[in-house]
C-alpha cells in the first residue's frame, strides 16, 4: 500500500517537473520574443529615416524631376525650381536716359563742352549749343571709353565725364575767345567801337580804348566777302530773318547794306567749316545777346585784316 502511494507521489513529482519545464520553456520563448522586440529598436531608425525622405521630397518633387532617389535633393541649385531666383539678375539693364542731344541749348551744354575741353575732346570755346561739333566730340569721348558712340549725352556718358573732370571755372565756361584777341586797330581806340579783326577772327567791344568783351566771329566766303572799312550801326533787329536767303539773323546789328553782326546757330554747330554771305557771324549767343543790349545806333564798326 505504501509502495503504491510512493509511486503515485513519484508520478506526481515527474508530472510537476514536466509542467515546470514547460513553464520555463514557455518563459524562454516569451523572453526571446521580447529580445527580438527590443533588438528591433535598432532598425526602427530606418523607418524613421525612410519616412523623413518622402516628407522632404514630396513637397519638392521638382528637386528630383527624374523620380530618382533622395540624393537628387542634394543639388537643388541645378533644378528648375531655382531658375526664377536667378532670372532678375539676367534681365538687361534699362536704356540710359538721354540728358542732352543735338539742337539743345543750355548752361548744361556749356558745362558739357567745358568738361570735354578739359580732356581734349572739344577744341573751342563753349557756346552752350549742342551742334555737330559737340556731337562729334561726345562720340570721340564715348569711343575712347568703350561706350556706344551715339553722340547723345546720356546718363552713363555724363556720369563718366563727371568722374574724369572737375567743375569748370567761370573763365572755362565763358572764355573771351577761342583764339588770342588781335591788337586793336588804331581806329578802334576812341569812342564806342565794334572792333573786328579778320586775321584773329575775333570781335572786341571797346569803349574809349578799353576792351569790354570779346568773342569769336567768322566772315563771308571769297564769293560773298565781308567788307573792310569803317562803318556805323544804322539798324538793329532782334529777331531778324534774311529776306534774301530766308535764314535767321538773331541780334542783327546792320552796318553796311545787308551786312550785319549777328548770332549764327550754324557757326555754333559747325565752327569755321562754314561761312556767311558777308555778315559777321558770332558763335556765342549769350555774348552777342549782351552785346546787342549795349550797342546803340550810330556806334562805330571797324573791320580790318
Q: 3-class secondary structure for 182-251? A: CCCCHHHCCCEEEEEECCCCEEEEEECCEEEEEEEEECECCCCCCCCEEEECCEEEEEEECCCCCCEEEE
Q: What is the pLDDT of residue 11?
A: 57
Where would I find the H helices in the chain?
2-39, 45-57, 83-90, 107-118, 132-144, 155-164, 170-173, 265-270, 285-294
* Cell numbers given for 55: 516628407
The mean per-residue pLDDT over the stretch 78-99 comes to 67
Q: What is the pLDDT of residue 150?
A: 96
Distance (Å, whole) CA 218 – CA 237: 20
Burial tier of 114 (Cβ tally within 10 Å: 0-12, 13-18, 19+): buried
Q: Quick one: what percent of the chain has pLDDT higher than 70? A: 70
Mean pLDDT, the chain, rounded, equals 79
Its pTM stands at 0.52
Q: What is the pLDDT of residue 41?
A: 39
Give the pLDDT confidence of 201-239 residue by residue, as tens digits.
Answer: 999 999 999 999 999 999 999 999 999 999 999 999 999
Distance (Å, whole) CA 1 – CA 106: 146
Closest CA to 304 of 176, 210, 184, 192: 184
Contact 294, 203 (CB under 8 A): no
CA distances from 113 to 12, 106, 147, 166, 233 (A): 129, 11, 18, 12, 33
Q: Is 67 a residue whose pLDDT tops 70?
A: no
Q: Is 259 a residue whose pLDDT tops 80?
A: yes
The mean per-residue pLDDT over the stretch 180-194 comes to 94
The mean per-residue pLDDT over the stretch 22-43 comes to 41
pLDDT band at residue 88 using 50, 70 and 90 as cut-offs: low
The mean per-residue pLDDT over the stretch 247-255 comes to 96
Q: What is the pLDDT of residue 136?
A: 95
For the ranges 116-125, 143-152, 177-186, the one whose mean pLDDT is highest: 143-152
pLDDT band at residue 84 using 50, 70 and 90 as cut-offs: low
pLDDT band at residue 49 using 50, 70 and 90 as cut-offs: very low
pLDDT band at residue 37 using 50, 70 and 90 as cut-offs: very low
Distance (Å, whole) CA 92 – CA 194: 57
pLDDT band at residue 244 using 50, 70 and 90 as cut-offs: confident
CB < 8 Å & 24+ apart, contacts of 107-111:
109/134, 110/173, 110/174, 111/168, 111/173
Amino acid at each position: 500500500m505504501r509502495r503504491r502511494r510512493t509511486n503515485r507521489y513519484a508520478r506526481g513529482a515527474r508530472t510537476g517537473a514536466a509542467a515546470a519545464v514547460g513553464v520555463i520553456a514557455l518563459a524562454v520563448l516569451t523572453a526571446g520574443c521580447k529580445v527580438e522586440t527590443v533588438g528591433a529598436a535598432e532598425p526602427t531608425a530606418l523607418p524613421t529615416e525612410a519616412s523623413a525622405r518622402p516628407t522632404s521630397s514630396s513637397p519638392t518633387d521638382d528637386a528630383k524631376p527624374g523620380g530618382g532617389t533622395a540624393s537628387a535633393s542634394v543639388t537643388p541649385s541645378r533644378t528648375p525650381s531655382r531658375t526664377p531666383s536667378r532670372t532678375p539678375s539676367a534681365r538687361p539693364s534699362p536704356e540710359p536716359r538721354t540728358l542732352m542731344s543735338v539742337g539743345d541749348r543750355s548752361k548744361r551744354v556749356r558745362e558739357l563742352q567745358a568738361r570735354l575741353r578739359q580732356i581734349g575732346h572739344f577744341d573751342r570755346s563753349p557756346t552752350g549749343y549742342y551742334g555737330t561739333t559737340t556731337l562729334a566730340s561726345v562720340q570721340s569721348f564715348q569711343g575712347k571709353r568703350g561706350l556706344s558712340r551715339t553722340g547723345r549725352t546720356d546718363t552713363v556718358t555724363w556720369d563718366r565725364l563727371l568722374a574724369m573732370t572737375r567743375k569748370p571755372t567761370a573763365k572755362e565756361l565763358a572764355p573771351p575767345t577761342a583764339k588770342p584777341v588781335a591788337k586793336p586797330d588804331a581806329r578802334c581806340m576812341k569812342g564806342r567801337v565794334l572792333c573786328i579783326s579778320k586775321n584773329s577772327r575775333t570781335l572786341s567791344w571797346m569803349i574809349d580804348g578799353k576792351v569790354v568783351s570779346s568773342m569769336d566771329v567768322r566772315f563771308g566766303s571769297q564769293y560773298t566777302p565781308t567788307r573792310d572799312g569803317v562803318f556805323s550801326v544804322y539798324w538793329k533787329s532782334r529777331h531778324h530773318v534774311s529776306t534774301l536767303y530766308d535764314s535767321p539773323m538773331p541780334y542783327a546789328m546792320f552796318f553796311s547794306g545787308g551786312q550785319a553782326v549777328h548770332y549764327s546757330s550754324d557757326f555754333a554747330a559747325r565752327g569755321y567749316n562754314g561761312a556767311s554771305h558777308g555778315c559777321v557771324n558770332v558763335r556765342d549767343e549769350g555774348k552777342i545777346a549782351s552785346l546787342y543790349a549795349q550797342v546803340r545806333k550810330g556806334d562805330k564798326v571797324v573791320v580790318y585784316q
